[in-house]
């Protein structure tokens, strides 16, 4: 399908914007069976769904090739966040510009008196957030009596954010014969219930997994010890050196902590969470757009509606709760044909859960080792050479300074100073505690451990125990160094390990003292192992039973009664 069948003003706007053919979701809403019907659309972020519902509502708005005189709104678009509402408004402005469309925006954080004046002057389409739209409705500034189309964008997120009552009041105040277009990346039960109440004979459209933009995302996963998570994130940022990177955390407290860590290390970073005011959010987004900051640390809700064209790296610092959240987070990158990378930082003990989630989402992820300082420095050298060998334009002042430098220093000294200046701006990579240990299940005894003490903890192979996880755990909880840990022997249900004799008592005291009820690893029980470790018994092997003919007694040869 092409855009040639659309009303002329919309077709011209799309051509001027560089559109050649509709995306999957845009083509689906333009099919004959979708015309004039209520729609339930599942489409990922970055799939072109804003233009899709802009095209879908054209039949109800346009009278031939033009819009009527602006008055009470004909279409209403509801979005969960201010950023998403403003983004939708910008898209609809250029889409309906040649048709003479007037778009009014009503969102939290803006001057409500200006919004009321804009509504009083008339509008064809109103775009807003649920709370602000409800406020204008209750004050009589928003008249929905002429409404022909209502669009709920990111409906699942609006319900998660507690806007059910606002949505119901807005929809109840609009004409029952209106069209209702419901766009949602996921379809949980509350969304299905909302659709049954406010839609009639809705057509179900799903383009999840069909969008070309999401095929441009390379998924990676790396398993690390929990104490190494922040260091792994720093090394990932340094390895990729992305123009813009987004880091996802689960809570605003973790956003605050990780943001402070990155600032301390010298990264240009901003934070977005529920505790930030609208002015702070605006300043953070502007810093990302003009490249004063290159890293954004955010919660899922705070990142809704953010569109950053230069975003090429997404890091899941804390694991998403399900496959849908994973895809929605990752969909922030890999848009408009550009390549993107999404990396999951996985605690060792949660690897199997992540593998199941990836299989459920039909995502093929490459499991990689955490980047090492050596790998990062090698990448730095290559990037630095590429940067310094790029052709540059110089003026007379630059040439004069270069001549003075050459008069006082050799070319080699000047080049070394230039390299040093570039390197000084780069944060140092981190050493991961669990990355340099052995990779096998058992860490064998080492010299210098005469008179050592043995302990046991109640996690083993069935709990995904691994020396790369166990060793940092012992050091962190027991306040000892790697050099003070000897052999580690992992059994099916428990792990035995050796601690240098001089620190054994201090280790046991620190372990019990450092227990934190909020730490998922604090419930691991520690006990002294009397008499030293017990070697795991070798697995029994059985010879195949013979299958001879039965003898006179009716038994087969070699089979005991």
Nearest to 280 by CA among 312, 288, 408: 288
Does 255 score more than 90 pLDDT? Answer: yes
Position 145 confidence tier, pLDDT thresholds 50, 70, 90: very high
Annotate 351-413 with DSSP letters as a single string.
HHHHHHHHHHTT--EEE-PPPPHHHHHHHHHHHHHHHHTS-----HHHHHHHHHHHHHS-HHH
Residues of the chain with CATH 3.40.50.300: 8-206, 212-372
CATH 3.40.50.180 fits 437-528, yes or no: no
Q: What is the DSSP letter of 63?
A: B
Q: 157-161, 279-283, 323-327: which has the minimum mean pLDDT?
A: 157-161
pLDDT at 39: 93
Position 136 confidence tier, pLDDT thresholds 50, 70, 90: very high
pLDDT at 536: 59
Neighbours of 235 (CB within 10 A): 25
Instruction: Tell the CATH topology of 8-206.
Output: Rossmann fold (3.40.50)
Position 213 confidence tier, pLDDT thresholds 50, 70, 90: very low
pLDDT at 346: 93
pLDDT at 561: 38
The residue count of the chain comes to 561
First to last CA, the chain: 76
pTM of this prediction exceeds 0.85:
no
Position 534 confidence tier, pLDDT thresholds 50, 70, 90: low
Does 439 score more than 50 pLDDT? Answer: no
Nearest to 126 by CA among 157, 96, 156, 103: 103
Q: What's the mean per-residue pLDDT of the chain?
A: 84
Q: With contact defined as beta carbons under 8 Å apart, do 429 and 377 qualify? A: yes
Nearest to 297 by CA among 254, 336, 358: 254
pLDDT at 271: 94
Position 72 confidence tier, pLDDT thresholds 50, 70, 90: very high
pLDDT at 17: 85
pLDDT at 4: 66
Position 47 confidence tier, pLDDT thresholds 50, 70, 90: confident
Q: With contact defined as beta carbons under 8 Å apart, do 468 and 348 qualify? A: yes
Locate 43 and state its tokens.
């489409």
* Alpha-carbon span 49 to 352, nearest angstrom: 34
Does 3 score more than 70 pLDDT? Answer: no
Stretch 365-384: mean pLDDT: 92
Half-sphere exposure for 61 (CA within 13 Å, toward CB): 33
Q: 139-148, 261-270, 382-391: which has the minimum mean pLDDT?
A: 382-391
Higher-confidence residue: 467 or 433? 467
Q: 129-138, 181-190, 405-414: which has the minimum mean pLDDT?
A: 181-190
CATH 3.40.1080.10 fits 212-372, yes or no: no
User: Over the stretch 278-312, which tens digit does the pLDDT of each residue have?
Assistant: 788 888 988 988 889 999 999 987 777 677 878 89
Stretch 98-106: mean pLDDT: 93
Higher-confidence residue: 439 or 154? 154
Position 118 confidence tier, pLDDT thresholds 50, 70, 90: very high
Position 146 confidence tier, pLDDT thresholds 50, 70, 90: very high
Position 117 confidence tier, pLDDT thresholds 50, 70, 90: very high
Residues of the chain with CATH 3.30.70.330: 437-528
Does 500 score more than 70 pLDDT? Answer: yes
Annotate 261-328 with DSSP letters as a single string.
HHHHHT--EEEESTTS-HHHHHHHHHHHHTTS--EEEE-TTTTTT---TTEEEEEESS--SSHHHHHH
Does 490 score more than 60 pLDDT? Answer: yes
């Amino acid at each position: 399908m092409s855009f040639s069948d659309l009303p002329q003003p919309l077709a011209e706007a799309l051509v001027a914007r560089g559109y050649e053919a509709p995306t999957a979701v845009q083509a689906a809403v333009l099919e004959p069976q979708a015309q004039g019907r209520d729609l339930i659309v599942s489409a990922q972020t970055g799939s072109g769904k804003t233009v899709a519902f802009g095209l879908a509502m054209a039949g109800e708005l346009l009278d031939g090739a033009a819009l009527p005189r602006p008055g009470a709104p004909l279409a209403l678009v509801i979005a969960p966040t201010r950023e998403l509402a403003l983004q939708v408004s910008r898209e609809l402005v250029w889409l309906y510009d040649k048709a003479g469309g007037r778009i009014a925006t009503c969102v939290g954080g803006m001057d409500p008196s200006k919004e009321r004046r804009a509504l009083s002057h008339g509008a064809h389409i109103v775009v807003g957030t649920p709370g602000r739209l409800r406020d204008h409705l209750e004050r009589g500034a928003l008249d929905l009596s002429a409404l022909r189309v209502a669009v709920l964008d990111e409906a699942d997120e609006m319900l998660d954010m507690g806007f059910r009552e606002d949505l119901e009041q807005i929809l109840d105040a609009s004409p029952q014969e209106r069209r209702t277009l419901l766009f949602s990346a996921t379809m949980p039960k509350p969304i299905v219930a909302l659709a049954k109440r406010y839609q009639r004979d809705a057509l179900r459209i799903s383009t999840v997994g069909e969008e070309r933009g999401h095929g441009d995302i390379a998924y990676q996963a790396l398993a690390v010890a929990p104490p190494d998570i922040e260091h792994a994130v720093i090394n990932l940022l340094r390895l990729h050196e992305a123009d813009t990177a987004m880091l996802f955390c689960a809570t605003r407290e973790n956003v605050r902590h990780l943001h402070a860590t990155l600032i301390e290390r010298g990264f240009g970073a901003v934070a977005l969470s529920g505790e930030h005011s609208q002015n702070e959010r605006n300043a953070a987004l502007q810093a990302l757009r003009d490249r004063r900051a290159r890293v954004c640390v955010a919660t899922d809700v705070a990142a809704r509606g953010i569109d950053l064209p230069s975003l090429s790296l997404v890091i899941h610092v804390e694991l998403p709760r399900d496959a849908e959240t994973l895809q929605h987070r990752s969909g922030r990158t890999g848009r408009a044909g550009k390549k993107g990378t999404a990396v999951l930082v996985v605690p060792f003990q949660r690897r199997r859960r992540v593998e199941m989630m990836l299989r459920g989402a039909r995502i093929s992820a490459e499991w990689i080792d955490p980047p090492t300082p050596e790998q990062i420095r090698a990448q730095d050298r290559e990037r630095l050479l590429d940067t310094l060998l790029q052709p540059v334009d110089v003026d007379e002042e630059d040439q004069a300074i270069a001549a003075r430098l050459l008069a006082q220093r050799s070319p080699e000294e000047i080049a070394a100073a230039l390299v040093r200046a570039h390197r000084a701006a780069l944060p140092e990579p981190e050493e991961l505690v669990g990355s340099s240990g052995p990779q096998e299940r058992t860490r064998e005894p080492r010299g210098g451990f005469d008179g050592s003490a043995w302990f046991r903890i109640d996690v083993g192979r069935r709990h995904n125990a691994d020396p790369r996880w166990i060793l940092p755990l012992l050091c962190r909880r027991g306040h000892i160094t790697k050099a003070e840990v000897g052999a580690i022997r992992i059994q099916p249900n428990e792990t035995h390990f050796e601690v240098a004799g001089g620190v054994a008592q201090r280790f046991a005291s620190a372990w019990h003292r450092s227990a934190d009820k909020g730490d998922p690893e604090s419930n691991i029980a520690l006990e002294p192992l009397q008499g030293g470790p017990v070697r795991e018994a070798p697995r029994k092997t059985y010879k195949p039973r013979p299958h001879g003919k039965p003898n006179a007694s009716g038994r087969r040869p070699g089979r005991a009664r």
